[in-house]
Amino acid sequence: MTYRVGFLTSHPIQYQVPIFRYLAQQPGLEFTVFFCQIPDAKAQGSGFGVSFTWDLPLLEGYRSEVLKNVSSKPSVTTFGGCDTPEIADRIRNGGFDAFIVNGWVVKSCLQTLWACRRHGVPCIVRGEANDLRPRAWWKRLLQRQLVSQYSAFLAIGQANASFYRARGIPAARLFPALYCVENERFAKAAEGVDRNAARQHFGLRNDSIVFLFSGKFIVKKQPMCLLQSLRLAAARETRIEVLMVGDGELRAKCEAYARENQLPVRFAGFLNQSEIVNAYVAADCLLLPSDHGETWGLVVNEAMACGRPAIVSDQVGCAADLVIPGKTGDIFSFGNWEQLADLMFEGANHPDVLHAWGEAARHRIASYSPAAAADGITQAIEFVCGPHLKHGDDVVVDTNDVINGA
């Protein structure tokens, strides 16, 4: 049997595209991606601090369509920035057996859900929500009502799965589609980079212990607080250096703080996908000090694919999945910047431990792959296309039949 499946997402996202290609190759699956827009360089760079386009092909290897975005202020970062009412016609006339939406982050995602409900098409959701972010009771209630409208759920990790469990989603409707990057591409690229040459390129010493920050210079990423931790750690250990990759609204403030305190930090600016591996190879360990706004943290996947461990805050979404303290990295309590400084100090004094963590991290990340995510999505499709959900009917389940239940 061939299933016709659509997937709606805001725009081509470099982490999603490899999964789309795997799904396009699945026998018995007619798969089409619907984009709300193709952003130009300025729109793509929103939040990054620079205009750019990804230097990887993002529209090859799968079928796709671009919807008409009627938003008065098109954007890939705001809820109202994607408004595509024509998705209702696509669903009504397309003969789809199932549709997948990328969470509920933009208006188009909800337009797709409502169209699926009206026309009896099972709707599967793959979002990032978790309960690391504190929410008022009424917001949790609204979320419970919202998630009850979907037919199946693709969990990106443990925190995301816990979010669905807390809202009464039964185990039968949860499928793993773990957040991932192209591990093989990163690993192969890392093998071709000379470490000393990479360090020289970024102005780093060959004998230093380098911690890497990679991301937007925005509040949730906490780059200023990282520099405060560096000030404490560098006062105790002179071999520490930090490489900060990225750009954004806080970069100028970070550079000023680094100058005023004479910190051993190098600012590399924004690096595209073909360049970022040089930074991972130059570093000994990734730092991700983000708050609960970091619903996953795919830079951790990238670093681990390159054989680098990660030190993250306990508010980072991927912490429970990828960072095993004392094995693939370490976890500090968000806001405890002295603790982060201590971990940097300890890492600088035990580079052999960082190396061992990096090798363990490389093995840990192997199962977080586009192929595995595509397999979980395929399982969800087969589930919702079964006779009990073929026409969008609700599944009747025992309320005790939830994950962590029987």
What domains are defined for the chain?
3-180+369-384 (3.40.50.2000), 183-365 (3.40.50.2000)
Q: Is the pLDDT of residue 319 over 90?
A: yes
Q: Is the pLDDT of residue 391 over 90?
A: no
Percent residues over pLDDT 70 in the chain = 95
Residue 329 φ/ψ, nearest 5 degrees = 150, -150
pLDDT grade for 389, boundaries at 50, 70 and 90: very low
Q: Residue 70: helix, strand or coil by DSSP?
A: coil
Please state the rounded mean pLDDT for residues 265-292: 97
Q: Is the pLDDT of residue 178 over 90?
A: yes
Q: Is the pLDDT of residue 290 over 80?
A: yes
Number of H helices, E strands in the chain: 16, 13
Q: Residue 264: helix, strand or coil by DSSP?
A: coil
Please state the rounded mean pLDDT for residues 299-315: 98
- For residue 291, give Cα distances in angstroms to 134, 220, 328, 332, 350: 11, 5, 20, 11, 27
Q: Is the pLDDT of residue 402 over 60?
A: no
User: Structure pTM?
Assistant: 0.93
Q: Is the pLDDT of residue 398 over 90?
A: no
The residue to which tokens 């016709």 are assigned: 4
pLDDT reported for residue 403 = 27
The strand pairing partners of 191, in sequence order, are none
Cβ atoms 22, 5 nearer than 8 A: no
Q: Is the pLDDT of residue 193 over 80?
A: yes
Q: Is the pLDDT of residue 39 over 60?
A: yes
- Based on the number of CB atoms within 10 Å of its own CB, is 88 exposed (0-12), middle (13-18) or buried (19 or more)? middle
List pLDDT tens digits, range 117-161. Answer: 999 999 999 999 999 999 999 999 999 999 999 999 999 999 999
List Cβ neighbours of 261 (8 Å cut-off, separation of 6 or more): 227, 231
pLDDT reported for residue 20 = 98
Q: Is the pLDDT of residue 214 over 50?
A: yes
**Chain mean pLDDT for the chain:** 93
Q: Is the pLDDT of residue 312 over 70?
A: yes
Nearest CA to 98 among 384, 289, 361, 337?
A: 384
pLDDT grade for 387, boundaries at 50, 70 and 90: low
Q: Is the pLDDT of residue 50 over 90?
A: no
